[in-house]
């Protein structure tokens, strides 16, 4: 069966994309540098939350195959880059995975091929990093091959929106490049949105997540002074959300996590500083507020324990939920990590429970408990860090000696303290 689509990077972005492309009749070859991931997929096993083993077997029946052999990129007419771009030490994006993937493509580039970058990065990456590397062999983007950027919009764990029904933004190096990319995505995505070019498409993704980052920071800062003033911010938000226009509800929490919100806005801030020489003040302030929330939670824990006549040093603190969002196993940038580390640094004995995490490698000193109810009854203080649907929050709060709710889910009571 001839390959028509190659997807480089088989994680939470590349794998759902491969699934939808396969369902639409494309013959997809997935390329990943992790041999274990490749072997597992070819054996019919999924390693991401949103796809089951049955989904992978269905993909294989549709012609999907995974490989570590980058020379096979030459078999495809469309190549999509879905590799991670973590933050580098200087605060900008670490482009090494993109550069590596582009190098693989450059060695296998053919006339007529369509190359699409989906990895989130700073504006200009497609034109300034990807294009020169691909053109080094003599082929010219927009003439000999097509080049485009289409930001990934995968929301892990979202039961309503996935790769098929989330609108796909596409920006081409040229109009014809954009046409080619739009035709490809249009074959399996319900709605394709054309951006003016690659830089506009790159910036659109950063604007989406910067918008969320800043608004989360707003309510995180409000929770501090509302607590001091005796105002229930959760009730305030519910009241404000009754307005049918001009307001969108955002909620406070112990910090921000995941693959987008804590990271992507920094790409834009980094780009503004590096190119223009001045700060993107909204982003930098939002980062300061959101990264400070674990420390704020620890301070509140100390205050709560003090009212109970206990010191944090030597107390047992139980954390409920350590992933970055509900009902998934993904722990990337979870605020539970700095929260646990700071509690440990102040002498607390930290326990945790999460139905999706059997081993918390980021915080090896934290002890996992099997029964959250029993553990809550014995702990000096229990913190709801992530509201998994498996938790009966009110029952756990009632079982606890003291319950600190950072997600606004517990019914008010003498034992319950809210963020």
Question: Which residues span the domain enclosing 221?
Answer: 217-418
Looking from the CA of 300 toward its CB, the CA atoms found within 13 Å total 25
Q: Are residues 259 and 378 in the same domain?
A: yes
Is the pLDDT at 89 greater than 90? The verdict is no
**Please, are residues 101 and 8 in contact by the beta-carbon 8 Å criterion?**
yes
* CATH number, domain with residue 56: 3.40.50.720
Check whether residue 84 and residue 181 sit in a common domain: yes
What token pair was written down for 402? 């003291």
Cα separation of 82 and 59, whole Å?
18
Token pair 């490749």 is at which residue? 38
What does the mean pLDDT of the chain come to?
Answer: 94
210 located within any domain: no
Are 221 and 191 contained in the same domain?
A: no
Mean pLDDT of 278-289: 89
Q: Does the residue 403 lie in any domain? A: yes
At 146-177, the pLDDT tens digits run 999 999 998 888 889 999 999 999 999 999 99
Is residue 268 assigned to a domain?
yes
Q: Which residues of 8-40 are buried (b: 16+ CB within 10 A; e: fewer)?
A: bbbbbbbbbbbbbbbbeebbbbbbbbeeebbeb
Within 13 Å and on the Cβ side, how many CA atoms surround 264?
Answer: 26
Question: What pLDDT, on the 0 to 100 scale, is given for residue 45?
Answer: 97
Q: What is the pLDDT of residues 120-131, one digit of tens each?
A: 998 999 999 999
- SS3 track for 316-339: EEEEECCCCCCCCCCCCCCCHHHH
Which DSSP symbol is given to 86?
Answer: P
pLDDT in tens, 66-83: 999 999 999 999 999 999
Pairing of strands 192-194, 416-418: unpaired
Distance CA 146, CA 119 (A): 17
3-state DSSP call for residue 172?
strand
Give residue 1's pLDDT: 66
Q: Is position 211 within any domain?
A: no
- Residue 212: inside a domain: no
- Just list the catalytic residues: 260
Write out pLDDT tens, residues 296-315: 999 999 999 999 999 999 99
- Produce one character per residue of 155-192: b if its CB has 16 or more CB atoms within 10 Å, e if not: bbbeeeebbbebebbbbbbbeebbebbbebbeebbeeb
CA distance 167 to 145: 25
Whole-number pLDDT of residue 61: 96
Mean pLDDT computed over 384-401:
96
Q: Is residue 209 part of a domain?
A: no
Q: Kindly report, residue by residue over 215-265, the tens digit of the pLDDT.
A: 999 999 999 999 999 999 999 999 999 999 999 999 999 998 877 777 777
Q: Please check whether residues 193 and 222 belong to one and the same domain.
A: no
Closest-CA residue to 361 (of 386, 337, 327, 328): 337
148/240 same-domain check: no
Q: Looking at the 3D structure of the chain, how many domains does it have?
A: 2
If you compute the radius of gyration of the chain from its CA atoms, what whole number of angstroms results?
A: 23
My answer on whether 182 and 242 are in the same domain is no
Same domain for 283 and 385, yes or no, is yes
Clarify whether residues 360 and 400 are in a common domain: yes
Determine, yes or no, domain membership for 204.
no
Residues 6+ apart with CB under 8 A from 409: 384, 387, 393
362 with 238, same domain: the answer is yes
Least confident of 229-238, 267-276, 345-354: 267-276
- Give the side-chain half-sphere CA count within 13 A for 269: 22
* Residues 164 and 243 placed together within one structural domain of the fold: no
Please indicate, yes or no, whether residues 16 and 151 belong to a single structural domain of this protein.
yes
| Domain stops at, among 162, 197, 232 | 197
């Amino acid at each position: 069966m001839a390959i028509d689509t190659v997807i480089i990077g088989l994680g939470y972005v590349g794998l759902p994309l491969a699934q939808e492309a396969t369902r639409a009749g494309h013959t997809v070859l997935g390329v990943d540098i992790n041999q274990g991931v490749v072997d597992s997929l070819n054996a019919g096993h999924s390693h991401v939350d949103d796809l089951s083993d049955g989904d992978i077997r269905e993909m294989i029946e549709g012609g999907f195959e995974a490989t570590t052999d980058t020379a096979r990129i030459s078999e495809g007419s469309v190549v999509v880059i879905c590799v991670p771009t973590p933050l580098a030490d200087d605060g900008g994006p670490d482009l090494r995975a993109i550069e590596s993937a582009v190098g693989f493509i450059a060695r296998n580039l053919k006339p007529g091929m369509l190359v699409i970058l989906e990895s989130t990065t700073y504006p200009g990456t497609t034109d300034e990093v990807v294009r020169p590397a691909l053109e080094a062999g003599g082929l010219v983007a927009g003439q000999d091959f097509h080049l485009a950027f289409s930001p990934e919009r995968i929301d892990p764990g979202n039961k309503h929106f996935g790769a098929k029904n989330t609108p796909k933004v596409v920006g081409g190096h040229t109009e014809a490049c954009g046409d080619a990319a739009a035709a490809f995505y249009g074959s399996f995505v319900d709605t394709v949105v054309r951006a003016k070019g690659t830089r506009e498409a790159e910036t659109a993704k950063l604007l989406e997540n910067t918008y969320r980052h800043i608004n989360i920071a707003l309510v995180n800062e409000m929770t501090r002074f509302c607590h001091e003033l005796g105002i229930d911010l959760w009730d305030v938000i519910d009241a404000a959300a009754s307005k049918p226009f001009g307001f969108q509800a955002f909620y406070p929490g112990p910090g921000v996590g995941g693959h987008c919100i804590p990271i992507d806005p920094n790409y834009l801030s980094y780009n503004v500083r590096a190119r223009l020489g001045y700060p993107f003040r909204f982003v930098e302030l939002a980062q300061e507020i959101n990264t400070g929330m674990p420390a704020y939670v620890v301070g509140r824990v100390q205050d709560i324990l003090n009212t109970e006549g206990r010191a944090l040093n030597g107390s047992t603190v139980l954390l409920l939920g350590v992933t970055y969002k509900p009902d998934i196993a993904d722990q990337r940038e979870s605020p539970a990590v700095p929260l646990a580390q700071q509690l440990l640094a102040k002498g607390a004995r930290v326990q945790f429970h999460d139905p999706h995490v059997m081993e918390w490698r980021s915080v090896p000193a934290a002890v996992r408990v099997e029964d959250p109810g029993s553990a809550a009854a014995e702990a000096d203080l229990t913190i709801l860090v992530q509201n998994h649907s498996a938790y009966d929050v009110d029952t756990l709060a009632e079982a606890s000696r003291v319950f600190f709710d950072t997600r606004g889910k517990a019914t008010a009571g003498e034992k319950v303290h809210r963020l």
